[in-house]
Structure 1
């Protein structure tokens, strides 16, 4: 909005300006530092970087085939315009591409796709667009949707999309596992059946394969592989050169990264403060601080000989809000 000239004040604007709030600074995704052009980006799964509440260690081994490393070479070196019309394997079990490839029966069979994950605008969902139901039914492929009306809704859809991919990978494995008894683990590694074993493979797609679906794949790398937002974007861009993540989508991904960091911290703290079970009843190992502990902390921090807070503890009788019941009283109460 450019204001008109004000002769009363004798001043005119030197440049056009707007009355809206300033935009936040852009999130820059730098090129990864490589020693030579043919060098790969290597990603190695690690359970230490995964939210323990979302996946168990055994589940992560199944999905990643015993923490198998993933490599990405700069696709710009041999990229052609026609490549945007096909899908690229971001991981050895996760593909990213446009909606047209989701209707290519020959390619789906050849790639061994077992699940289609469509990321659509909510209006397309209402009009039943970009829904390859017939292809999925013909090939016996699972079909799932992530329907959002804008980028802001993606941050709520990311956990659901990640869970759908992981659940599918685990279900495919459990249907073909070696025995119907306990999972077999040898030397800390999950035993993966090799003969006639078909691993789950997922195609994530949107209209172009460069926007919403790319954001879902970036979010998956952040959730399951523990990458930060910049590392995940670099990895996906190396695999599919035409990916375009605008500023709005980058801000959503940055917010999702903050949420993941907070969740991992909280859940890891809960595991560290795990419960011990005695006679069917739980008791937390970490106990509340007492008055003596509070005073000890004051002394360690160089407090005065007599704390100014001592007055509130004078003449105060000992009070315990809860006491343990005797075994016979507890039995009577339960009965």
Structure 2
């Protein structure tokens, strides 16, 4: 929108603006993903999963250990070196169990078999929900691969689909592991004690894809890194770009991921606060935590910190003492208003 001149902006009341201005709504600031500062081309971004950054309502300590293989560190080296145009037509391992790529790779029998993929997660347009992006359902059945879908019409629906997509990935990883514990006596499970013998446990591997592997599916993977690894939105975007150089998240998708990050931080804070009220929070669900309703006396400490005086405190007591209980709703049959 063109910016109006100062002459055209003069008011009928005689007021004159001191500078040009626009009548359009203000635009939100851009979400900038800075390039990581690396001192050497061989330097890597390293992330180590920790339970301190995970929402306790979504994963337990033991579940996180199973999914991340006892908190195994993940490395990402700048993929710009050695990247070719053909690389965008295949999939790259963002994590050692999570791949990102285009829909064409989901139909590659050899690639799926060679990389041990156990689940396909398609992030697709809901208008194509009736069309299988895998194109050959027999291939999925032949390889014994689980197929899941995240159907969204736009980015606004995508933010609501993130929790479901993250849960699908986590549930699959846990189911693949737990399906072997009855046949492998070397697996030890406990509340916080678990050993995964290297080379003896078959782990699940998930391919997340959309048409290009650079749009909705990339957003799902970034959301997964934020949720399970506790990464910030900027850190997750930098990590995924180091793994798959052709990923270019649109401005709208970056805004969406920033909003999802705020939701995760809020949920994590609330659930950890609720757990603090339990005698043994490690072994209980946060839904069992109950916070006592704030009492009037609790506000007095706040007044003192804000410089309250004895006079104001006395006035508060006069206002609250002997006040009848307020009930916002009562049964209609008990109400007698006297109206005709």
- TM bucket (normalised to shorter chain) is 0.7 to 0.9
Equivalences, count: 302
Superposed, 1:255-334 pairs within 5 Å as 255-274=259-278, 288-289=294-295, 291=297, 294-295=299-300, 298-299=303-304, 301-307=306-312, 308-312=315-319, 316=322
* Contact persistence 1:87–1:96 (CA under 8 A): yes
* Contact persistence 2:124–2:151 (CA under 8 A): yes
Pick the aligned partner of 2:216 from 212, 215, 231. 212
State the secondary structure of the residue aligned to 2:176. Answer: helix
* Contact persistence 2:62–2:190 (CA under 8 A): no
- The 1:259/1:2 distance shift into structure 2, 3 A limit, reads closer
- The 1:132/1:264 distance shift into structure 2, 3 A limit, reads farther
* Contact persistence 1:155–1:252 (CA under 8 A): yes
Unaligned runs of 5+ in 1: 10-16, 277-281, 322-335
Q: Whole-Å Cα distance in 1 between the matches of residues 66 and 122 of structure 2?
A: 24
Q: Whole-Å Cα distance in 1 between the matches of residues 106 and 203 of structure 2?
A: 19
1:192 alignment counterpart: 196
What displacement does 1:245 show?
0.3
CA RMSD of aligned residues (A): 3.2
State the secondary structure of the residue aligned to 1:77. Answer: coil
Summarize deviations over 1:70-96 as a string: whole Å, max 9, x none: 000000011111111111000000000
* Contact persistence 1:204–1:217 (CA under 8 A): yes
* Contact persistence 1:95–1:203 (CA under 8 A): yes
Deviates more, 1:198-207 or 1:19-28: 19-28
1:169 alignment counterpart: 173
1:43 alignment counterpart: 47
1:71 alignment counterpart: 75
Summarize deviations over 1:21-53 as a string: whole Å, max 9, x none: 443232110011222121000000010100000
Q: Whole-Å Cα distance in 2 between the matches of residues 20 and 121 of structure 1?
A: 32
What displacement does 1:143 show?
0.3
Q: Whole-Å Cα distance in 1 between the matches of residues 247 and 302 of structure 2?
A: 54
Pick the aligned partner of 2:38 from 20, 34, 37. 34
1:155 alignment counterpart: 159
Summarize deviations over 1:154-185 as a string: whole Å, max 9, x none: 1001000000000000000001126699x725
What displacement does 1:18 show?
9.1
Runs of 4 or more off by more than 6 Å in structure 1?
Answer: none
- The 1:289/1:178 distance shift into structure 2, 3 A limit, reads same
Q: Whole-Å Cα distance in 2 between the matches of residues 180 and 287 of structure 1?
A: 49
- The 1:97/1:129 distance shift into structure 2, 3 A limit, reads closer
1:203 alignment counterpart: 207
Summarize deviations over 1:91-131 as a string: whole Å, max 9, x none: 00000011111111111111000000011111221344455
State the secondary structure of the residue aligned to 1:42. Answer: strand
- The 1:318/1:246 distance shift into structure 2, 3 A limit, reads closer
Q: Whole-Å Cα distance in 2 between the matches of residues 299 and 153 of structure 1?
A: 46
TM-score normalised by L of structure 1: 0.80
